[in-house]
Structure 1
C-alpha cells in the first residue's frame, strides 16, 4: 500500500479530479471582512488578519495583525484630548485605511479556504480512491474479460465512461499512450510496441523486462498502472 501511494502518478490523474474543493465567493467574503476595519474606524483592523493567521498558519498575517493592534492601541492611548498633536490621529487613519485595503486584498487571495493540511488530506484520499478503482478494474479484467473489454479497461485512448483508476493495457495501446499515461520515453515506448508486434502480446511485467530495453526499475515504477489483456 505504501509503495503504491508514494510512486509518481501522471499529471492527468490529479487528485483534484476526485475531490474538488468547494467554491466560496472570494469577493463577497473579502467585502464582508472588509467591513470590520471600516466600521470600527480601524480599531479592529487586526481581527481579520488575526483570523487569517490562525486559519492559514502564515506568520506574515499574524505579524500584520499585531502591527495593526499596536497601532490602534497606541492611537487610542496617545491621542491628546485637546487635539494639539494630530500625529496620533493620522496614525489611526493610516491603520484604518491600510487595514481595510490589506484585509480585502488578503481575502481575495485566499485559496478558497483550503490549507496545506486540507490539500494533503485530499491528495491522500484521492490516491487511495484511485488505487481502489484500479484493484476493482483488475479483478474485472481477470474474472470477466468480455465485460472488461466492453468497459475499455486499460484504454485511456478510447471514449469510455468507466473509471479504472488510470490503468493502461500494455498489449493494446499505442506508443503515444504509453508516453502520456505511463511516463516512459518515446524511444522506450516505440521499442516496446515493436517487440509486442513481433511477440503478439506480453504475458506480464516479467516479459516486458526480458524482451525490451526497459529496466526492471522502470517497469516496477509503473507496475501499478499496467495491465496485460489476453
Structure 2
C-alpha cells in the first residue's frame, strides 16, 4: 500500500457510524504511532459514543460534535502516519554494517571449510598470523592458531589463550569440536558466545 492510502478508512468509519466508532481509528493510530496519550483520546471518544446513545434527544448533538472533532483529529493523525510512511529509513550505523558484513563472511568461510577443508587450509582461514588475502570475517582456528592470535580474536587475556594451547595438547593436539575447548579449560562463561561465533575447527 502506498503512503497516500495509509489510514484511508479513518473518516468513513467515524462518519458512517455517526461517531459511535470514532474511537477505533484513534486506537489504531495509537498502536501504529506508539503514542500513549492517544489511548486517552480513545477512551474519550468511546465515552462520547456511550453518551450519545444514553443522552436521548441530546444524543444527536453529541454525535455531531464527536463526528466533527473526530474527523479533524483523524485527519491530523492520518497526515502524521503518511509522513512517517513516506520518511526514508534511518541510515544504518556504519559500525553495525561492518559487524553484520563480518558475520556474513564468517558464515561463508565456514560453509567453504565444510565443503573443502583442504582449500580452507590453503586460504589460511582462521590463521591471520599467516600470509593470505582471504577475508574470513575474523575466524580463528582453535587447533593451530598461536596463543597471541587466540587472545586477539577471541577477546581473551594471554593466560586464557595459553590455556587453550595447553589444553589442545591433551586432546592429542587437536580438538574435534569447538565446544571441546570449554570442557578442557576453565574459560569464563561470558567468553563462550564470542568463542562459538569466532572459532572454527579445520581438522
Indicate the TM-score class for this superposition, using the shorter chain for normalisation: 0.5 to 0.7
TM-score scaled by length of structure 1: 0.46
Structure 1 regions of 5+ residues with no counterpart?
1-116
Residue of 168, 171, 188 corresponding to 2:160: 188
- Which fold has the larger relative contact order, with Cα–Cα distance below 8 Å and residues 6 or more apart in sequence? 1
8 Å Cα contact 1:205-1:219 kept in structure 2: no
Paired with 2:189 and 2:201, the residues of 1 have a C-alpha distance of 17
1:217 match: 190
1:158 positional shift: 0.7
Q: How far has the Cα of 1:175 moved from its partner?
A: 0.6
Residue in structure 1 matching 2:119, options 141, 147, 152? 147
Structure 2 counterpart of 1:133 = 105
Number of the residue aligned with 1:202 = 175
CA displacement at 1:224 relative to structure 2: 0.9
Match of 1:58 in 2: none
> What is the deviation of 1:227?
0.4
Structure 1 residue ranges, 4+ long, deviating more than 4 angstroms after superposition: none
Q: Deviations along 1:143-202, whole A, 9 cap, x unmatched?
A: 100110111110111111110001000111011111122111111111110111221211
Give RMSD over aligned pairs.
1.5
The count of aligned residue pairs is 113
Q: 1:156 to 1:128 in 2, by over 3 A?
A: same
Q: Contact 2:154 / 2:194 at 8 angstroms: preserved in 1?
A: no
Cα distance in 1 for residues equivalent to 2:101 and 2:191: 24
User: SS at the partner of 1:205?
Assistant: coil
1:124 to 96, 101, 107: 96
The 8 Å contact of residues 113 and 120 in structure 2, kept in 1 or not, is answered as yes
How has the CA–CA distance of structure 1 residues 215 and 208 changed in structure 2, closer, same or farther, with 3 Å as cutoff? same
Supply the distance in 1 between the matched residues of 2:178 and 2:202 (Cα, whole angstroms): 12
List runs of 5+ in structure 2 lacking aligned partners: 1-89
Is the 8 Å Cα contact of residues 154 and 195 (structure 2) preserved in structure 1?
A: yes
